Homo-oligomer: A and B are copies of this chain.
């Protein structure tokens, strides 16, 4: 009873959970800060649908409820949603993050943040937490701090919560951390990284050659693993 009452009083957050290591770390970071979290998972027809299974496993391990949005997007536009397009492989770290690669999904974070905003407003959550990162990243424009700030403003002006109250705050706690820093933080927080999935290719085993596999490997190696 006491626990329940306590839970009822906790501040709520919506965590965008992809199943990769960044968003898993954000989830554990939020739990450590005392947020009552709801994980939002989006099935947008991604090639690596395997990550949705990973997201479910991570949410289960963390003991948080999950909301799954399924959508059919009637366009391609990315190597992540269009299997006819080749995934960039074996790129040097110097090239990863320089320019916007073929795996860029048009307006993906805008779409994810919109969904999170709708959910947050509906359940009365005061925070949206997103694992966007602008250091060891693929160069996506919608992972940069200036973009998050701009979306925040639109979110405030475009919602009842923002007009009538304090609104929903969007936070990207990993945005300026290296992959190694993220992993070190996550290991301290007990993130079950073995359940996470980074590979863009999907399938049953990571390919080890796409940008996402390479950044993951670099992170663990720099973190001393």
Contacts and interface: CB of A to CB of B under 8 A. Distances in A.
Interface string A112-146: 01110111011100000000000000000110101
Given A69-B72, A75-B122, A115 B111 contact: yes
A160 B104 contact: yes
B157 A154 contact: no
B71 A118 contact: no
A76 B122 contact: yes
A96 to B, nearest CB: 16
Number of chain A interface residues as a range: 35 or more
A141 B159 contact: yes
Interface string A170-208: 000000000000000000000000000000000000000
Q: Is the interface of A mostly helix, strand, loop or mixed?
A: helix
Contact of A114 (B114, B150, B156, B162): B114
Q: Which 8 A-B pairs have the closest CB atoms?
A: A77-B122, A106-B121, A142-B158, A107-B118, A150-B154, A71-B71, A107-B117, A111-B114
Interface of A: 67-77, 100, 104-111, 113-115, 117-119, 121-123, 141-142, 144, 146-147, 150-151, 153-164
